[in-house]
């Protein structure tokens, strides 16, 4: 009986969301009488027109074309969709239930792994996330030293194929721990063992790059025989765009020594990198600036790394990067898919601790798009870009603001989610009990 009850309880969590993915845009849509927050060109008090998934015009007054749907915003606000620069959205449902997680492969070297093929478009987490304005996410694998290749996904689609916005967006490497962790009940590995493990990992990274460079040079030659084509190494084949500098490598690192080692490693092997995490990035400003390393800054709401740091060190980290002229964007923790919905709250916290408000908004829209290389299509509201946007009744960096309607490439998105369902359910409960009055 206990097993049956557990199975029933689990099925309520695993049952896919019942939102129907939106159909392609069939007619022009004009949003008028609102505040259009373009991000790239200020705020326009007027209208925005989009057709066939693309923005066609933004201006104070726009005449609706024939057959257009006209929506009076009545002073509401339009923003570009927020972008989660790193996330495991669609790869994780319930982190404590292994069968709902598909973000990791065995082994330390898996550059051939594609995140998008494991993406679950029916995840219950997706609707609650886009209800907070997050409409695009860079989905990243997690395991080993070289985790695999990330994919940029839209938060709507029948299958992973039609939810894929771009693939690959980059290769992800988890940089080895450089310091020695103290012992105790939670971590008992000796200092000697930690040093040995770190050295092996660093040597392996160097060896991977040497083999990848050699393999890429071999693929460029015209001396290969027909037999050579049957000996292609799928993993090294996947490394070619990265050793040739066509795509960036995302290095997950937080501590000073990790960041410094990663930058020097990238210079030795002549590859482009993006720093992910970057908790200590404010300590390595000169190095990052000199080498033009973008930062995806995670964990604005995290605790300080050291006892002697300011209590608000993580909160003001984004402001320090901005003041130093470092290219950056803000992301919530990549490891917790259910908290990606808090992305605007992270940007708001950074704004409360010194980051200019317009830069806070930019950090989760256009700045994220620029680092991911998708800014020609999304990240701001401009003619010719995708109509991936949402309507809100106020400033989305304010927690009281509600996202009323979202569009992804012009498609009108179902805004229902489990949180809203539970809200209405218990609203009705207390209405029936006579506690809540109409």
Q: How far apart are CA 289 and CA 355, in angstroms?
A: 18
Q: What is the DSSP letter of 419?
A: H
Enumerate domains of the chain plus CATH numbers. 18-80+379-416 (2.30.40.10), 82-377 (3.20.20.140)
Sign of CA dihedral 289, 295, 300, 303: negative
Q: How confident is the prediction along the chain (438 residues), in pLDDT tens digits per residue?
A: 344 334 433 443 444 456 789 999 999 999 999 999 999 999 999 999 999 999 999 999 999 999 999 999 999 999 999 999 999 988 887 776 766 776 777 778 999 999 999 999 999 999 999 999 999 999 999 888 999 999 999 999 999 999 999 999 999 999 998 887 776 555 677 888 888 889 999 999 999 999 999 999 888 876 665 555 556 788 999 999 999 999 999 999 999 999 999 999 999 999 999 999 999 999 999 999 999 999 999 989 999 988 999 999 999 999 999 999 999 999 987 667 888 999 999 999 999 999 999 999 999 999 999 999 999 999 999 999 999 999 999 999 999 999 999 999 999 999 999 898 999 999 999 999 989 886
* Angle (nearest 5°) at CA 32 between 28 and 33: 180
- Residue 19: predicted pLDDT: 77
DSSP, collapsed to helix, strand or coil, labels residue 19 as coil
**Per-state percent for the chain, helix, strand, coil, to nearest 5:** 35, 25, 45
- Residue 150: predicted pLDDT: 95
Q: What is the DSSP string of 236-288?
A: HHHHHHHHTTSS-EEEEE-SHHHHHHHHHHHHHHT--EEEEE-TTGGGGHHHH
Residue 285, preceding bond cis, omega within 30 degrees?
Answer: no
Q: How far apart are CA 87 and CA 141, in angstroms?
A: 9
Are 413 and 406 within 8 A, CB to CB? yes
pTM of the model: 0.90
- Residue 7: predicted pLDDT: 42
């Amino acid at each position: 009986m206990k097993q049956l009850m557990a199975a029933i309880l689990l099925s309520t969590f695993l049952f896919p969301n019942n939102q129907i993915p939106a159909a392609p845009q069939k007619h022009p849509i004009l949003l008028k009488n609102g505040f259009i927050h373009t991000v790239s060109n200020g705020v326009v008090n007027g209208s925005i027109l989009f057709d066939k998934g693309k923005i066609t015009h933004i201006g104070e007054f726009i005449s609706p074309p024939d057959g257009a749907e006209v929506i009076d915003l009545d002073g509401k606000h339009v923003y570009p969709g927020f972008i989660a620069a790193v996330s495991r959205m669609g790869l994780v449902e319930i982190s404590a239930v292994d069968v709902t997680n598909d973000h990791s492969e065995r082994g330390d070297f898996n550059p051939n792994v594609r995140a998008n093929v494991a993406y679950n478009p029916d995840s219950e987490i997706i609707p609650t996330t886009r209800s907070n304005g997050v409409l695009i996410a860079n989905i990243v694998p997690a395991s080993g030293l070289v985790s695999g290749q990330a994919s940029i996904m839209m938060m709507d689609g029948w299958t992973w194929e039609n939810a894929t916005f771009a693939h690959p967006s980059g290769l992800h490497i988890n940089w080895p721990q450089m310091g020695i962790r103290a012992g105790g009940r939670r971590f008992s590995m000796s200092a000697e063992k930690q040093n040995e493990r770190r050295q092996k990992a660093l040597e392996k990274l160097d060896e991977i790059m040497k083999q990848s460079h050699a393999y890429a040079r071999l693929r460029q030659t015209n001396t290969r025989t027909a037999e050579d084509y049957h000996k292609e190494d799928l993993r090294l084949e996947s490394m070619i765009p990265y050793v040739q500098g066509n795509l960036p490598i995302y290095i997950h690192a937080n501590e000073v020594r990790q960041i410094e080692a990663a930058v020097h490693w990238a210079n030795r092997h002549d590859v482009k990198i993006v720093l992910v995490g970057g908790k200590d990035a404010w300590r390595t400003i000169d190095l990052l600036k000199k080498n033009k390393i973008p930062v995806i800054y995670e964990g604005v709401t995290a605790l300080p790394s050291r006892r002697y740091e300011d209590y608000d060190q993580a909160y003001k980290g984004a402001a320090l990067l901005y003041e130093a002229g470092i290219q950056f964007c803000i992301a919530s923790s990549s490891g917790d898919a259910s908290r990606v919905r808090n992305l605007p709250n992270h940007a708001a916290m950074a704004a409360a601790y010194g980051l200019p408000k317009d830069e806070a908004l930019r950090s989760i829209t256009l700045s994220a798009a620029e680092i991911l290389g998708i800014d020609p299509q999304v990240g701001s509201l401009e003619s010719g870009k995708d109509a991936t946007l949402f309507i809100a009744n106020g400033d989305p960096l304010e927690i009281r603001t509600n996202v009323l309607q979202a569009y992804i490439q012009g498609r009108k998105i179902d805004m229902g989610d489990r949180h809203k369902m539970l809200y209405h359910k218990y609203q009705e409960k207390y209405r029936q009990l006579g506690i809540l009055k109409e």
